[in-house]
Structure 1
Amino acid sequence: MKAVAKGLRGFATYMGSLMGADAYRKYLEHFNASGHTGPAMTEREFWRDRMDRQDSNPQGRCC
């Protein structure tokens, strides 16, 4: 039963990454690793910026 639960968690993580659910976490990791001195965007600011950039520069997406 533990193997099934582990498999389902792994699948959910994979699907979340496909949908971009971990984009803010990746942004923070990159922000900290690249040595920025200012404050990082809040999660709300990040998603607003991401949606604005996608709207102003549409690329191939499924929807």
Structure 2
Amino acid sequence: LEAAWPSKRKRVQTDPNTVFASIEQVYRAQIEAGRIEDIMAEESGYESSGLEASYIVVG
């Protein structure tokens, strides 16, 4: 019966200087809404402060 209820949602807080939300912002909104669990913080005991950028350098 619980599967019939709509899932929880939360508005993604975007940076006013950007057009679209980043993946990290969407991920945080999903965690806050309770749609997913923060697996990374549970495994490592580390919570991202949002100050560091995550990117891949392609040479």
Shared fold, TM over 0.5: no
Q: Find the structure with the greater CA-based Rg.
A: 1
| Greater helix content | 1
Q: TM-score range by the shorter chain?
A: under 0.3
**TM-score of the two chains, using structure 1 as the length reference:** 0.26
